[in-house]
Amino acid sequence: MPAVNQEPSTLAVIIPMYNEERGAERCVRAMCEVLKRKLPSSRLFVVNDGSRDNTKMILQSLANEGLPFSLVSYDQNQGYGAALITGARSAAEMGFDFGLFMDSDLTNDPELIPQFHKAIQGNVDVVKASRYIPTGGMSGVPMYRQMISRYGNVIASTLFNIGVRDCTNGFRAVRLSMLKDLSLKERGFASIMEELYHLKKLGARFKELPYTLTSRLDDQDGSKFRYTWRTFYNYFKYCVKAALVTGNKQEI
């Protein structure tokens, strides 16, 4: 079990991007502005995961402009899971204690970052944003997506048995010492479940914060995510594997 820091824990914001030319500049400027105003001790890390559009060029231009963020860029797409770990390692190398993983489309509200920073100061290793605790929810998300997510998380929460009601949510802060040495096999969003499985095995301590998910502004269906039978399988297999791990329910 990692020792709890005596000094206040520091927080890096980590955002993977793939073909996000329409929103990359808006995202980086919004994040940098919030961090400068509310949490100047934090830093933004952007991982360009082999984008084939103009995302890399836009991000490099913003870096050359002097915006205070760190950019890591792949020439070839490595997948969401690899991008997460790359961002975690980069932040850990710069001395940050926690990484807050966020989406590049700003459906995760940057104004919530200070709440995560406050939450990580306790005896905790993972802070998950949750749509399924009091005052959490979803806004502008199609009802069929809400129902699939809600019932899917009832199953996931039961099988994981770590006191987390919103297992699939990718808006979370994780202690980097527990994450940076992982090698995630999943390339897509199922890496969130794979990560959670490994964190349970490591005995991580969990906490949830209420959060309202908003729909993606430039996507009529509200998300890039697509439900397929393969998607359900990739998520469910980690629920089953997690159910076989016992003795690690340490939610805060």
Quick: pLDDT tens for 137-184. Answer: 998 889 998 999 999 999 999 999 999 999 999 999 999 999 999 988
DSSP annotation of 112 reads: G
At 230 the pLDDT is 83
d(CA 33, CA 21): 19
At 246 the pLDDT is 80
Q: What domains appear along the chain, each with residue ranges and CATH number?
A: 11-243 (3.90.550.10)
DSSP annotation of 150 reads: H
At 7 the pLDDT is 77
At 222 the pLDDT is 44
The pTM of the full predicted model, rounded to 2 decimals, is: 0.89
At 82 the pLDDT is 93
At 232 the pLDDT is 86
3-state secondary structure of 221: coil
Other CB atoms within a 10 A radius of the CB of residue 19 amount to 16
| Contact (Cβ atoms closer than 8 angstroms) between residue 120 and residue 173 | yes
d(CA 164, CA 150): 13
Helix ranges (H only) for the chain are 24-38, 55-65, 80-93, 113-119, 143-160, 176-179, 191-201, 229-243
d(CA 171, CA 101): 6
pLDDT tens, residue order, the chain (252 aa): 444 446 789 999 999 999 999 999 999 999 999 999 999 999 999 999 999 999 999 999 999 999 999 999 999 999 999 999 999 999 999 999 999 999 999 989 898 999 999 999 989 999 999 999 999 999 888 999 899 999 999 999 999 999 999 999 999 999 999 999 998 889 888 999 999 999 999 999 999 999 998 875 554 444 555 668 788 888 999 999 999 998 655 554
Quick: pLDDT tens for 5-17. Answer: 467 899 999 999 9
Structure tokens at 186: 């999943």
